């Protein structure tokens, strides 16, 4: 059974009870992969209002993030439209999602990553989208440094310092930098995302982060190793 089949069943149960989509996030133990996907799609729908309209590129971004097959597009569109039409504001959605994943802050960062992917799909970072994403980050209690890194990864030309990518000061020694890189690789590996119960459709998000981390380490290592080799006593 595909994730979108399970999502369709969840939505059908909501409709049968006469509840809105936001009620889904009050269920006690929803399936993690279903919850994650509905979270990104529903907040993405709310974000679409931030700049006034849904552009084809943003719809295409949904397809890229979730690798939608033609047979699944109707289910995804149903979630999107239910969230967009709900009278509850995006802050109410974000608060419910934050409570659902309050013991798994890395999942909330994954949700935020998906929202950035959708926001930047048309190549523009609208001020309404920026305000929306910053407020969601606050509700999710994503640390400011983590938010800045997610934002910088998605804004071309924002990241010029590989030390920033690893979250380290520039005077960090080689061994500490290498340990930090390895820690981030372990935490960001796509297999870890799947192990957290998130859908395989979202592995692209982790792959993008991992590539940025590895590029940063390669640049740091290239700069640092020659300096170490040239130091007295080496």
Residues 114-127: tens digit of each pLDDT? 888 878 877 778 88
Query: Which has the minimum average pLDDT: 41-55, 65-79, 210-224?
Result: 41-55
Task: Convert the pLDDT of each residue in 105-154 to its tens digit.
Answer: 888 888 898 888 878 877 778 888 889 999 999 999 999 888 888 887 77
What mean pLDDT is predicted for residues 167-195? Answer: 86
pTM beyond cutoff 0.95: no
The pLDDT of 41-65, averaged and rounded, is: 70
Range of the domain at 49: 1-158
pLDDT category, 33, cuts 50, 70, 90? confident
**Domains identified in the chain, total number:** 2
- Report yes or no: 33 and 61 within 8 Å, Cβ to Cβ: no
Both 90 and 6 in one domain: the answer is yes
Q: When comparing pLDDT for 178 and 233, which is higher?
A: 178
| Same domain, residue pair 125 and 191 | no
Q: Map the chain to HEC letters.
A: CCHHHHHHHHHHHHHHCCCCHHHHHHCCCCCHHHHHHHHHHHHHHHHHCCCCCCCHHHHHHHHHHHCCCHHHHHHHHHHHHHHHHCCCCHHHHHHHHHHHCCCCHHHHHHHHHHHHHHHHHHCCCCHHHHHHHHHHHHHHCCCHHHHHHHHHHHCCCCCCCHHHHHCCCCCCCHHHHHHHHHHHHHHHCHHHHHHCCCCHHHHHHHHHHHHHHHHHHHHHHHHHHHHHHHCCCC
Specify whether 153 is located in the same domain as 164: no
Tell me: do 153 and 166 sit in the same domain: no
Look at residue 61 and tell me whether its pLDDT is greater than 70.
no
Q: Are residues 192 and 113 in the same domain?
A: no
Q: How many CB atoms lie within 10 A of CB 192?
A: 15
Q: pLDDT tens digits, residue range 184-227? A: 888 888 787 777 767 766 677 777 778 888 988 998 998 776 55
What's the confidence (pLDDT) of residue 180? 92
């Amino acid at each position: 059974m595909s994730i979108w089949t399970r999502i369709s069943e969840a939505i059908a149960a909501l409709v049968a009870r006469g509840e809105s989509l936001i009620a889904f996030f009050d269920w006690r133990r929803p399936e993690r992969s279903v919850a994650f996907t509905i979270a990104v799609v529903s907040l993405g729908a709310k974000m679409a209002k931030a700049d006034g309209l849904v552009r084809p590129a943003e719809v295409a971004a949904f397809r890229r993030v979730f690798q939608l097959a033609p047979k699944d597009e109707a289910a995804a569109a149903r979630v999107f439209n239910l969230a967009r039409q709900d009278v509850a504001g995006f802050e109410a959605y974000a608060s419910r999602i934050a409570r659902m994943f309050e013991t798994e802050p890395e999942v909330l960062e994954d949700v935020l990553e998906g929202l950035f992917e959708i926001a930047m799909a048309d190549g523009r970072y609208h001020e309404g989208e920026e305000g929306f994403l910053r407020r969601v980050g606050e509700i999710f209690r994503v640390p400011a440094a983590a938010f800045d890194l997610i934002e910088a990864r998605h804004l071309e030309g924002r990241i010029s310092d590989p030390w920033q990518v690893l979250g380290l000061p520039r005077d960090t020694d080689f061994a500490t930098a290498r340990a930090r890189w390895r820690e981030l690789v372990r935490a960001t590996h796509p297999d870890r995302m799947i192990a957290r119960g998130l859908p395989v459709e979202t592995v692209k998000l982790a792959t993008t982060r991992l590539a940025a981390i590895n590029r940063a380490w390669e640049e740091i290592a290239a700069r640092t190793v020659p300096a170490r080799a040239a130091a007295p006593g080496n």
